[in-house]
Amino acid sequence: MTDRPLLLLDVDGPLNPFAARLPRLRGYTTHRLRPTVWLSRQIPGSRRHRRGLRVRLNASHGPRLTGLPFELAWASAWMHEANTLIAPGVGLPPDLPVVEWPESFTADPDGLLWKTRPVLEWAAGRPFAWVDDMLTARDVAHVAEHHDAPALLLRIHPKWGLRDDDFARLRGWAEAL
């Protein structure tokens, strides 16, 4: 553990711009992967199940992320599989810490993203930035009210993934702490 803030990484949206309309995004390579969380929602033996999930990854993201003044961790439904399936494709170390979810995709009584409460518990009072495509103003307000340390919740559009402006904003926020 370091005194650097945490950077919590979601896979789908920030690293995998799954909603992109172009079949080939500049800088991205398409992979066919079979994460457990996705396979559990497919019909066994179906064409989709056999082919795997199309995932677009940019190999420049890993070096750019590790160059930021953060301690990196996964905050994704991919959980530990992010280390084995995603890290190699983006150039991240294969042993990043992982936020483990008690339950995935469950409805929150206050309308928060299902990850928000576990993220706060996992951060344990440390400053953190969190990149995710599903963050809302409710999540931002909840974190501001229930987390005493600085926090940046950065919603990444799933059409574009992480972009230059996002990296600049993350760096600026961390350096301003």
**pLDDT under 50 in the chain at which residues?**
none
pTM above 0.85, yes or no: yes
Domains within the chain, CATH numbers bracketed: 6-19+58-176 (3.40.50)
- The pLDDT value given to residue 93: 97
In the block, tokens 């990484």 appear at 9
Residue 100 CA to residue 166 CA, distance in Å, equals 25
Residue 115 CA to residue 108 CA, distance in Å, equals 9
- The pLDDT value given to residue 2: 66
Sign of CA dihedral 7, 166, 105, 85: negative
- Strands of the sheet containing 6-9, edge to edge, are 71-74, 6-9, 128-132, 151-155
